[in-house]
Amino acid sequence: MTGSLVIVHDGSYMSKVSKTACSAAFMILCTNTNNRAKGVVAESSKEADNYRGEILGGLLVQLILRAATQRRHSPYSPVQIDCDNMGVVKHGNAPTRKLKAKQPQADILRCLKQQISHNPLQIEYCWVPSHQDDNKEWGELTLRERMNVIVDKLAKLGLIAGIADDEYADCIYPHEQIRVTLKGDKVTGSLKKAFSDHWSHEEAKSLFHKKRLVSKYEFELVYWDGVEAAGRSFPKKFRDFVTKQVSKFCGTNRQLSRIDSTIDNVCPSCGKRDESSKHITRCEDRGRRAMLEYSVDDLVQWMAATNISTHLQQMISTYLMSQSKRTMISCVQTTSPLLHALATVQDRLG
């Protein structure tokens, strides 16, 4: 009521530790009494990133201000809130502006803007530079810069604690006016994108079943998000190769003979007729076997360098070198229930 509040919030995200967790921390200080409140929360979400953490910090502050102003109807002084994320600052200063159709983190942004609009306070968001303690002595920092340093460290500690204990707040926010779920999961970003992704997933399941690529009963056994993420990390030429290999239209003699009648559809290595894309990894010619062994050995060395279980290394190596003559479950040489489950699923998929 006297305008003595100083409020700063910050978010944290560590993709190398967890790609599905973010956190937020805040600090509220009364310059008249030197009383202060600090808080932190970690959240688990498929859409977790640093931006979501920053917005989450803003929402925490707004909920506290809402609770603090429920029983009084006296005029309130304007409140300044400091944040080191310019996107949050712009949204915070324009709470009635509509969100774009493809707006990232739309669910929590919608809640933040709603709270700012409904709270009986005039809110002004200001940008504060982050990590100023890297460039200045503590005594040279302004009050808001010091508070930003404190909440930044608090958010990081809260994130690490949340990941270590596997304890998170859910994505169901107080006073949320609209909440959309697809197959039990809350939509946190663009509704248009979510609906499109859901539709394409169901269409792919139907198409793969019709083409006998993957049965609709086995479709959900594939970690499609992982497939997509891995694909994005590959060079474009390699992605082209994978696409051609999986679609069975790579440059084998089966396909080349359809283009050029002078090309005979036989394997140039073993002489077997109908050199398909599948035959490339199943050819028993000594040279082709040597190349396969070279590739598998390279994969095993990578797994060893990244501390992959020796039982998993052995299972994969044996399975690949068997050239589809053995099931993966027959290649497991341990009682590990995880490896048995993995092998069983792989054999179901084929």
- pLDDT tens digits for 131-181? 999 989 999 999 999 999 999 999 999 999 999 999 999 888 998 888 888
User: How many CB atoms lie under 10 A from the CB of residue 101?
Assistant: 10
How does residue 110 score in pLDDT terms, banded at 50, 70 and 90? very high
Averaged pLDDT for residues 102-121: 91
- The domain segmentation of the chain, as residue ranges, is 5-165, 234-283, 287-350
pLDDT of residue 75: 83
Averaged pLDDT for residues 90-97: 95
Spell out a b/e string for 260-296, using b for 16 or more CB atoms within 10 Å of the CB, else e. eeeeeeebebbeeeebbbebbebbeeeebeeebeeeb
- The torsion of the CA quartet 119, 125, 131, 136, rounded to 10 degrees, works out to -120
How does residue 116 score in pLDDT terms, banded at 50, 70 and 90? very high
- pLDDT tens digits for 260-291? 999 999 999 999 999 999 998 899 999 999 99
Given a cut of 90, is residue 246 above it in pLDDT? no
**pTM, to two decimals:** 0.73
Q: Is 186 in a helix, a strand, or coil?
A: strand
Structure tokens at 319: 């399975």
Given a cut of 90, is residue 247 above it in pLDDT? no
User: How many CB atoms lie under 10 A from the CB of residue 23?
Assistant: 31
- pLDDT tens digits for 168-188? 998 889 988 888 888 888 888
Fold of the domain spanning 5-165: Nucleotidyltransferase; domain 5 (3.30.420)
Q: Give 153's Cβ-side CA count (13 Å radius).
A: 8
- pLDDT tens digits for 194-237? 899 899 999 999 999 998 889 999 999 999 988 988 999 999 99
How does residue 350 score in pLDDT terms, banded at 50, 70 and 90? confident
Q: Which residues pair with 350 in a beta bridge?
A: none
Please state, for a pLDDT cut of 90, what percent of the chain lies above it: 75
